[in-house]
Structure 1
Amino acid sequence: MSNIVRGAMLLTAASFLSKFLGMIYVIPFNAMVGETGGTLYSFAYIPYNIILSISTIGVPLAVSKFVSKYNALGDYETGRRMFKAGITLMIVTGFLAFLALFFSADWLAERMITSDDPQGITSANVAFVIRMVSFALIVIPAMSIVRGFFQGYQSMGPTAVSQVVEQIARIVFLLTAAFIVMVVLDGEIATAVGFATFAAFIGGLASAIVLWGYWRKRKSGLDKQLQQQTYTNNIPKKDLFIELFSYAGPFILVGLATSLYQLVDQFTFERAMVASGNESIWDVAFSVINFYGHKLVIIPVTLAIGLSLAILPALTKTFTQNNRELLYDQINQALQIVLVLVIPAVVGLSFLSDEAYGALYGLGNIEITGSLLGWYAPVGLLFALFTVSSNLLQGINQQKFAVISLSAGLLLKILLNIQLIHMFGAKGAIFGTALAVGTAVTLNLWRVKKTIQFPFKQVIKRTMLIIIFVIIMCIVIWIVKAVFGMFIPYEEERWATIVMLALGVGSGGIVYLWLAYESTLLERTLGDRVRVLDKIFRR
């Protein structure tokens, strides 16, 4: 058991470090390529992420479960056969995905960009960056299978180390290439972004080398287990794949939710902004909503989801045992963790949007960028609730409904996005996403209530208390900005913006934590996780 806990902690730490590095690198990247470069980068990565998920169809995770199952039965040969078959499958699907993305780049770009302004982003630019990122599909699907195989042996070290090495190699190549192109050679933004997206291939290659090292080191021990094996299930290859795909399930679509909403923006945002007379700012606005701003919004969401989903493995067992009282407690806690952490985070980010964006990315176009971040931040709460509510449905054996709710939200986004952009400008895309995700969340929670008669009374009461504390937090931030703004030029100087951001986050965060702690809201929601605050506030 200690090895399992140690492995889980190692994997969590590696994942957090990878996400942290993934957030930090965009600061120097923005300084070199600006909002236009961020928009181009998004135009490559969003279709890439979707094609990658489709090409892997959940197989790496499924291999992990498959290998773990048959290892527990002492049948190491079946797990090894699945590993070899899985790698072959991923090499084929990865290469086909590469060909599909590479050769469809022009077709995609021409439908994403309708007004080829030689001074801005052209369809040729978009096609170039899509082709550059497509090379990663040759490596990453097969590499992911190796991670899944090791995880099936409860060995998280190879995955953790390869994740961090992949991210470091990707970021080093990305920033170096962007620096050489933009600073040393005084080149084009599209060229710099193209090499930045090619960094995904470099990162995947570095990860594959690390995993190959682990494989060579451990192969003799794995072969020894095969030689000592006395029984095998002799499952036909066809049945191996049938069982493997049964593990993947419909949740591959749920994991793609954010990318699918962003893909709708890619095909509609530019043309709607141009048609509504906002062609001069469309690339700046797009980068805030789908890249630079999204990086900020997703930080508290990721943290809250991680804490909330830790409860869910036990939820399936509780549902199977038909222990309704415990089931209600677990669902209440999962939802309340998201609310207690994400509501203050997104409201605070919205309240300090100019300061947050200006401190990290500079004050240029802040009247556009800061405003859009302020509108977009609350959507983070809906993203978090969608992920958790979808997993709740999985826990009560209603996972197929999550696909229905996602499809309903996506249909709304497709139908209304252009009209909303015409009505509200760039904010219309944010409203479209909020409406789509909000609809999916509402449907998910309705299904939870209908399936197990879950009472939302406690969730609503706690939410009202959180809202009261957040209002007090905002008043404190407003006072801090008013007082210190008299002698700190935070609207004009970047250093002053950083100082004001620190003062606002610090004062607002401490007030909210103190109120939530003294009212026992944190203790009732997070349980033993608040012990560290006992030493600070000493209730």
Structure 2
Amino acid sequence: MSKIEHKKAILNHQALNGALVLSGAALISKILSAVYRVPFQNLVGNVGFYIYQQVYPIYGILMTLALTGLPVFISKIMAEQPNQISRKRLYWQLLILLSLISGIALIVVQLLAPWLSFKMGDPNLSKMIRAVSLLLILMPFLSTSRGFFQGSLKMHPTAISQVLEQIFRVIMIILVAMAAHFHHWNLYRMGKDTMLAAFFAGILASIVLLYYFKSESFSFEYYPEISYPTLFKRLLNEGGILCVLASLVVLMQLVDSFTIKKNLLIYGMTNFDAQNAKGIYDRAQPLVQLGLVIGTGFATGFIPSLVKNYRKKFFDTFKNNARMMVQVSMTLTFAIAMGIISLIHPINILLFKNAADDDSIGVYCLSIVFATMIVIHNSVLQSLNRSANTWISITIGMIVKIILVSWFVRRVGIMGGSLSTVIALFTIWVINYLCASDFIKQSLYPKLFFLKIILISIGEGIGLFLLQREISKLFLMPSRFGSLILMLMMVPIGIIIFIGLCFIFKIFKAQDQLKQMLKMFRSKITK
């Protein structure tokens, strides 16, 4: 092996190991971010959960900027630089540019917090909005530093800072919730302190990243590698798309924060009932987040392989791998979504003590399917540098959400929030599909696959629902223990039903799929 080939092999090995490290850290962080909300809701109740979830989407968007969207974009342009000196110069440019943008955004949010809280229908939220906006102080350093390390194929700083940040934040939130529960704090004080937890967790992440900078011999060098207008344009176009895609579901939640409670008042609810209903509605968020983690987790592992095949013009291999990615990811997604929807009654009781608003939570969980399809579709387009239609589809989808949520909620109550989200996500996916090239359609959407998987999911849902109804008659009183027993019985049955129907409908050519997967993973290991 020549020196050049040996160097390429080392870089490929570093890239693969780095991708695995980042994927593992992201998985841990997302699971933590979803799971903590169950004990949190149990401690603070529906109204406390409503207060927290009203402002949470702002935190979610800021975290996307600091953790995924901007670091991925920055790592991309860092990787384009010829050497480490150029990367360090570009680092300072990006840090200056993002600091300017974040500083302006921080001032605007601090000044407009009372107006924003008024528009959310709850003036008491202004202190929470100001508290969470403090994360803007840390965002430039966090996103630029993570992007710098990732662009240099050093993934451990990002991974370790991410996991420690989330662990620290979750611990602080649960401690605040416990203090509020046992000492009967005002719920808005509780909400403000939970939002401050994000800022302190960000400080911890910054300290971790600074520790890793010790070995970089960093000094300030102001020699612009790219003109600021060009850098800003790329930041807006390329970075913006990545951030919007990564926070799509959170953006839907942000629309809910500004619309649902106010429209529930118009629907005829009292202020307390509207807060309570919104808090119950938000129970769907951890379920959707866990579904997305599982549904998209498998797909992200395929993206580097797809990029490589496409660049080398191995189009048949690209299509086969893309088809397998979609089939496996969407099979998992449909199975999980239909399982949650079918068992939403015992899940609601088990996690949140009662079965309030089963229907609206179940309908909201349909968004797992469409959000996963959107993420997979646009991840492939991003890897091929074909994202021109992404802004169009997301803009139209958000407009649909904004229009429908008010119209629906005023007529059917809290169910309107769920319906508007599902329809908006479905709209985005349909536009993505219609705008896709024939090559993408052939690669990502195998003939009859979606029809088969929908029929299988319906079969799973009907089977689980009927069995659940009969078995639940054995329990005289709905309780957490009874729901736990029911779940332990129904989950294995649901898996058996789904797998059995997959074989009946021949959803996979098992032998061929297994060979392809083994071949792909073998090639990753040997390179």
Q: 1:82 aligns with which of 81, 86, 90?
A: 90
Deviation per CA, 1:336-395: give whole Å up to 9, x if none.
Answer: 2332111121111111111112111111xx232x22211211121111112222233334
Residues 40, 314 of structure 1: alpha-carbon distance in 2 compared, 3 angstrom cutoff: same
1:200 corresponds in structure 2 to 198
1:160 corresponds in structure 2 to 159
1:284 aligns with 2:276: yes
Structure 2 stretches of 5 or more lacking a match?
1-11, 519-527
Residues 361, 383 of structure 1: alpha-carbon distance in 2 compared, 3 angstrom cutoff: same
- 3-state SS in 2 of match to 1:406: helix
Deviation at 1:496, TM superposition (A): 0.9
8 Å CA contact 1:523, 1:530 repeated in 2: no
Deviation per CA, 1:100-126: give whole Å up to 9, x if none.
Answer: 22221100111110xxxxxxxx422x1
Whole-Å Cα distance in 2 between the matches of residues 340 and 64 of structure 1? 32
Partner letter of residue 388 of structure 2? K
Q: 1:45 aligns with which of 36, 53, 56?
A: 56
Deviation at 1:244, TM superposition (A): 5.9
1:16 corresponds in structure 2 to 27
Aligned-residue sequence identity (percent) comes to 22
Q: 1:268 aligns with which of 259, 271, 283?
A: 259
1:420 aligns with 2:408: yes
Deviation at 1:83, TM superposition (A): 1.5
Whole-Å Cα distance in 1 between the matches of residues 307 and 298 of structure 2? 17
Partner letter of residue 376 of structure 1? Y
Residues 372, 109 of structure 1: alpha-carbon distance in 2 compared, 3 angstrom cutoff: same
Whole-Å Cα distance in 2 between the matches of residues 522 and 104 of structure 1? 57
Whole-Å Cα distance in 1 between the matches of residues 335 and 66 of structure 2? 37
Deviation at 1:317, TM superposition (A): 5.2
1:367 corresponds in structure 2 to 356
Residues 392, 367 of structure 1: alpha-carbon distance in 2 compared, 3 angstrom cutoff: same
1:401 corresponds in structure 2 to 389
Deviation at 1:57, TM superposition (A): 11
Whole-Å Cα distance in 2 between the matches of residues 104 and 56 of structure 1? 25
Residues 458, 154 of structure 1: alpha-carbon distance in 2 compared, 3 angstrom cutoff: closer
1:495 corresponds in structure 2 to 481
- 3-state SS in 1 of match to 2:185: coil
1:123 corresponds in structure 2 to 123
8 Å CA contact 2:280, 2:356 repeated in 1: no
Residues 496, 375 of structure 1: alpha-carbon distance in 2 compared, 3 angstrom cutoff: same
8 Å CA contact 2:353, 2:479 repeated in 1: no
8 Å CA contact 1:516, 1:522 repeated in 2: no
1:301 corresponds in structure 2 to 292
Whole-Å Cα distance in 2 between the matches of residues 90 and 317 of structure 1? 32
8 Å CA contact 1:63, 1:82 repeated in 2: no
8 Å CA contact 1:375, 1:430 repeated in 2: yes
Partner letter of residue 466 of structure 1? I
1:534 corresponds in structure 2 to none
8 Å CA contact 2:48, 2:187 repeated in 1: yes
1:91 aligns with 2:99: yes
Whole-Å Cα distance in 1 between the matches of residues 151 and 56 of structure 2? 29
Deviation at 1:194, TM superposition (A): 1.3
Deviation at 1:404, TM superposition (A): 0.5
Deviation at 1:250, TM superposition (A): 3.4
Partner letter of residue 475 of structure 2? I
Deviation per CA, 1:311-348: give whole Å up to 9, x if none.
Answer: 33444555556655444434433432332111121111
- 3-state SS in 2 of match to 1:367: coil
Whole-Å Cα distance in 2 between the matches of residues 80 and 310 of structure 1? 29
Identify which of structures 1 and 2 has the higher relative contact order when contacts are C-alpha pairs closer than 8 Å and 6+ apart: 2
Whole-Å Cα distance in 2 between the matches of residues 34 and 528 of structure 1? 50
Provide the TM-score with structure 2 as the length reference: 0.86
Partner letter of residue 45 of structure 2? G
Q: Which moved more, 1:279-288 or 1:15-24?
A: 279-288
Residues 339, 526 of structure 1: alpha-carbon distance in 2 compared, 3 angstrom cutoff: farther
Equivalent runs, 1:104-143 vs 2, <5 Å: 104-113=112-121, 122-124=122-124, 126-143=125-142
Count of residues in Structure 1 that have an aligned counterpart in Structure 2: 503
- 3-state SS in 1 of match to 2:397: helix
| RMSD of aligned residue pairs (Cα, Å) | 3.1
1:454 corresponds in structure 2 to 441
Deviation at 1:6, TM superposition (A): 2.1
8 Å CA contact 2:68, 2:246 repeated in 1: no
Residues 136, 54 of structure 1: alpha-carbon distance in 2 compared, 3 angstrom cutoff: closer
- 3-state SS in 2 of match to 1:281: helix
- 3-state SS in 2 of match to 1:399: coil
Structure 1 stretches of 5 or more lacking a match?
114-121, 227-231, 532-539
Residues 108, 32 of structure 1: alpha-carbon distance in 2 compared, 3 angstrom cutoff: same
Residues 497, 148 of structure 1: alpha-carbon distance in 2 compared, 3 angstrom cutoff: same
1:509 aligns with 2:495: yes
8 Å CA contact 1:287, 1:293 repeated in 2: no
1:116 corresponds in structure 2 to none
